[in-house]
Amino acid sequence: MSTQPKPFVFVIMPFTSEFEDVYLAGIKPACERAGAYAERVDEQIFQERILQRVYNQIAKADIIVADMSERNANVFYETGYAHALGKNVVLITKNQDDIPFDLKDFPHIVYQGRIAILLQQLEKHIRHFITHPDNPTRTPANTIEVQVNDTPIRDRPAVRIEVPPGANAISLTIDIHNSAARELRVLRCQVGLVTPHHFRRAKMNEKSIHTVMLTASETLHYLSEMIELLPGGWQKLSISPSVSEGTVALDASTIFSVRVFTDNGFFDYPFRVETVRRPRAN
């Protein structure tokens, strides 16, 4: 027997008596059949204000079920909060017209007052979200933007790098942007730079960072500290990889890559270098 807790489905719906059968005979057993457990806020014992409790439970839930029937203002408000947190939300309704235009592209079930339809269809939706908990349209890869020396890193662009004569290191400025402006998700990540193998050391923000050999031709330099970015936020990092012997020798075919580590894996942002010799200071 599995010791893992069941996924938690938080149910947002009107509390009037006409919806009791919808909840007790439709929503709760559908979630149980799918391997989850469902609760409404009025079933719980708590001491904080009810709205604070609702916020807490939406944040805690794995899946949200929201009954949009009769266009209840509280349901609309709480559903909007769930979407802002990036939650998987299943919309249900007795009447198709009760779902607002902005939400019609989200998964929804029109049960027309028939519990049998709701029971069957909701079980399928809950099973789907348990099996596929991460919405592919909301992966970090789609919300992370990277710039190097003010150049957006898309389609392996050329990045201008100034190299003084006789230098054994190069200087790069990396900007990481969390573009998820519509969702209240904090992006937690680590940042590294993949370089040609002869760059054996590096500093980031004037700190020594970890360096590991990836392959015979590639080295990874990364900062162990986690970076947290609010939606719309930016983080600027200065990194200076250096060669162990001799001076920096680069050409237009040399490939570097910013590597961003997240809870969903790592993502690479490769770029080509375009070296410019910086004149000696007089």
Asked whether 117 and 233 are in contact (CB, 8 A), the reply is no
pLDDT of residue 258: 94
Query: What's the pLDDT tens digit per position in 49-101?
Result: 888 888 888 988 999 999 999 999 999 999 988 887 778 899 999 988 888 87
Domain 139-277, CATH homologous superfamily name and number:
Immunoglobulins (2.60.40.10)
Domain ranges of the chain: 8-133, 139-277
Contact yes or no for 168/236 (Cβ under 8 A): no
What pLDDT digit, counting tens, does each position of 93-139 carry? Answer: 998 888 887 777 777 899 998 999 999 999 999 999 998 766 544 44
**pLDDT at residue 64, rounded to an integer:** 95
Read off the pLDDT of residues 163-173 as tens digits, 9 standing for 90 and up. 777 788 888 99
Q: Render pLDDT for 211-256 as a digit per residue (tens, 0 to 9).
A: 888 888 888 998 888 888 888 889 999 998 888 777 777 665 688 9
- Structure-model confidence comparison of residues 50 and 19, the more confident one: 19
Rounded CA gap, 168 and 258, in Å? 20
Q: Please give, one letter per residue, the 3-state secondary structure of the chain.
A: CCCCCCCEEEEECCCCHHHHHHHHHHHHHHHHHHCCEEECHHHCCCCCCHHHHHHHHHHHCCEEEEECHHHCHHHHHHHHHHHHCCCEEEEEECCHHHCCHHHCCCCEEECCCCHHHHHHHHHHHHHHHHHCCCCHHHCHHHCEEEEECCEECCCCCEEEEEECCCCCECCEEEEEEECCCCCCCCEEEEEEEEEECCEEEEEECCEECEEEECCCCEEEEECCCCEEECCCCEEEEEEEEEECCCCCCCCCCCEEEEEEEECCEEEEEEEEEEEEECCCCC
Residues 188-216: pLDDT tens digits? 888 999 998 888 888 887 777 888 888 88
Cα–Cα dist 60/9, whole Å: 9
In 3D space, the residue among 167, 170, 239 whose CA is nearest the CA of residue 209 turns out to be 239
Are 222 and 153 in contact by the 8 Å Cβ rule? The answer is no
pLDDT band at 5 (very low <50, low <70, confident <90, very high): confident
Using the predicted structure, report yes or no on whether residue 150 has a pLDDT greater than 90.
yes
pLDDT, mean over the chain: 84
8-133 has which CATH code? 3.40.50.450
Give the pair of three-digit tokens for residue 85. Answer: 């947190």
pLDDT score, position 162: 81
Which of 4-13, 24-33, 82-91 ranks highest by mean pLDDT? 24-33
Instruction: Please tell me which residue, 258 or 205, carries the higher pLDDT value.
Output: 258
Question: Residue for token digits 């007790």?
Answer: 24
